[in-house]
Structure 1
Amino acid sequence: MDYSYILKTSKVLPEKLAEFGFEEKNGSYFCRKNILNGDFYSIIELKGNFLTAKVFESGSDERYVLFDVENANGSFVGEIRNQVRKIIELFRSQCCKTSDTKKKYMDFIQNKFGCKGDNPWSDTPENTVFRCKNKKWFALIIKIKFSRLGLSGDEEVFAVNLKANPKIIPEITDKITVFPAWHMNKKYWITVLLTEAADWEKLCALTEQSFELVNSKK
């Protein structure tokens, strides 16, 4: 099962992996954790931007395939998924630096461009718009579910919509922290996650470009 969404909001601390039980092999990190009192075990694999888990029966080492079947229901498979999820959450808390960078980003915009954000929508007060002097916005901070960006999971995350040069959008949308814009024209706008996983310098540079593109319009 794919848990890579964890890495969209968290930055892995390599020095913590061995403490958690990971071992490196051929460029990947593997960790074995017992579940259901040792009757089953899960193999967690971390490779680049991917984090996955597989479940096996301890007695036979055969893979428990129902764990990966999305529509498989029942209390037993549900408990297995619950225990694996707890392991993944423990991994995030012990091996990752996790926080959103919304406040840091808002401070950057205010200091760099001398403008304060406004909240034009009463039903989504967490969404913040930053405007140029021409009253057009160059940055829209939103709270969005991963699924809206084509990722697995319903976890919510802060992100920002920025205007970009259409010629470079295909190059910069890596679908890891930079995506085709949500709810805006994908030809001219992008969505960038405001998380520890995002490249801060790149985020700032993209924001400056957005400001210049919007501010140049009369």
Structure 2
Amino acid sequence: MLTREDIFKHVKENYGTLPDYPFRKFPNFAVLRHASNGKWYGLVMNVLPEKLGLDGNEKIDILNLKCPPELNAGLRNGRDILPAYHMNKEHWISIVLKRIDPKGEVYHLIEESFNLTK
């Protein structure tokens, strides 16, 4: 299981990124953005599972990442990697953090998103 704290630690160590909380209405939504150009490469949110077409009543943490369209279909499995919530579904995916393992795969996808948004 991966946590938002794991993500924040990883991006700080590897990209010098600290989470940014720009949404007053959603204080737990953390944007990961490039220091050089301000573009987003990730977004950590806590949402109700129903927003993703999943079962459950308690909010879950998800990570939205940019991903090449040719990889999206192969990555999405309907359980832990889904079409992006609240983003372009052709170019972004949502990862359910409590369901994903191993960390290495997610860290690779973070790197991919970071490079795609430079």
Q: Aligned pairs, how many?
A: 116
Q: Deviations over 1:113-155 (max 9, x none)?
A: 0111110011111100111121100010000111111112222
Check whether the contact 1:179–1:190 (CA below 8 A) recurs between aligned residues.
yes
Shift of 1:176: 1.4
Q: 2:25 is matched with which residue: 123, 128, 132?
A: 123
Query: Which position in structure 2 is the counterpart of 1:114?
Result: 16
Distance 1:135 1:145 in 2: 28
Query: Which position in structure 1 is the counterpart of 2:43?
Result: 140
Q: Larger strand proportion, structure 1 or 2?
A: 1
State the percentage of identical aligned residues.
Answer: 30
Aligned runs of 1:169-188 on 2, under 5 Å?
Answer: 169-188=72-91
The reply to whether residue 163 of structure 1 matches residue 66 of structure 2 is yes
The reply to whether residue 194 of structure 1 matches residue 97 of structure 2 is yes
Local SS of the residue matching 1:122: coil
Check whether the contact 1:100–1:158 (CA below 8 A) recurs between aligned residues.
no
Shift of 1:170: 0.3
Query: Highest CA radius of gyration, 1 or 2?
Result: 1
Query: Which position in structure 2 is the counterpart of 1:46?
Result: none
Check whether the contact 1:163–1:210 (CA below 8 A) recurs between aligned residues.
yes
Matched AA of 1:208 = E
Q: Where in structure 1 do 4 or more consecutive aligned residues deviate above 2 Å?
A: none
Shift of 1:175: 1.5
Aligned runs of 1:197-208 on 2, under 5 Å?
Answer: 197-199=99-101, 200-208=103-111
Matched AA of 2:53 = G
The reply to whether residue 210 of structure 1 matches residue 113 of structure 2 is yes
Local SS of the residue matching 2:37: coil
